[in-house]
Structure 1
């Protein structure tokens, strides 16, 4: 197969100014401004892990953020949340979600999510004749 794979972007997940992990935010919901993906914890994650195992209300107090590799902190109006199911499902079952990323920034950062969504809409409209 000769498909070229798009180089994935990496984002840092921050607690205050400390990098607690990274993610590629490889999935998304463009109309909602949501991007999510596997969370790759750094050694610093142990400092907040217990709070990430609790409900989102407790976790909201952490004020997590996402930083693009170019240094920009991405505005996420709905916050950043870590869903850690590693205790029940294994060490790779940690996901991070960035909520409320506005346009046009969302399209700039995640063109692949927008293209996939547009393709899905097009397929639905073509199939509904």
Structure 2
């Protein structure tokens, strides 16, 4: 499974595998694994978040972190309006799937 890096103002704050998504809505989301640079306040500043796969930044309309760690013991990250690379390029193992509202492979 691919590992996507999550940045806040250009600083690496964690990663995700984007286990779920909906191609028709241009949304990918998954569990967020923060590193020591992450602070919960960063989850409220969505305009400063970005995602990359290796050296390639994922072009999208926005990135959001939903930090429910205290309540549900989980943190999720989502990218909205994904345009480039395309879903087929980001998830070649799911390119032939009929249902793009996929869950874990």
Q: Name the TM-score class by shorter chain.
A: 0.7 to 0.9
Number of aligned residue pairs: 100
Q: Deviations over 1:76-96 (max 9, x none)?
A: 12x000011001112xx1000
Residue in structure 2 matched with residue 125 of structure 1 by the alignment: none
Q: RMSD over aligned Cα, in angstroms?
A: 1.9
TM-score w.r.t. structure 2 length? 0.83
**Unmatched runs of 5 consecutive residues or more in structure 1:** 1-7, 53-57, 121-129
Where has structure 1 moved over 6 Å in runs of 4 or more?
none
Higher percent of residues as strand: 2
What is the 5 A alignment of 1:114-125? 114-116=95-97, 118-119=98-99
**Unmatched runs of 5 consecutive residues or more in structure 2:** 101-105
Q: CA deviation at 1:26?
A: 1.2
Q: Deviations over 1:33-72 (max 9, x none)?
A: 11111000010002xx1242xxxxx4334x2000112x01
Question: Residues of 2 paired with 1:106 and 1:27: CA distance?
Answer: 12
Distance 1:81 1:74, change over 3 A: same
Higher percent of residues as helix: 1
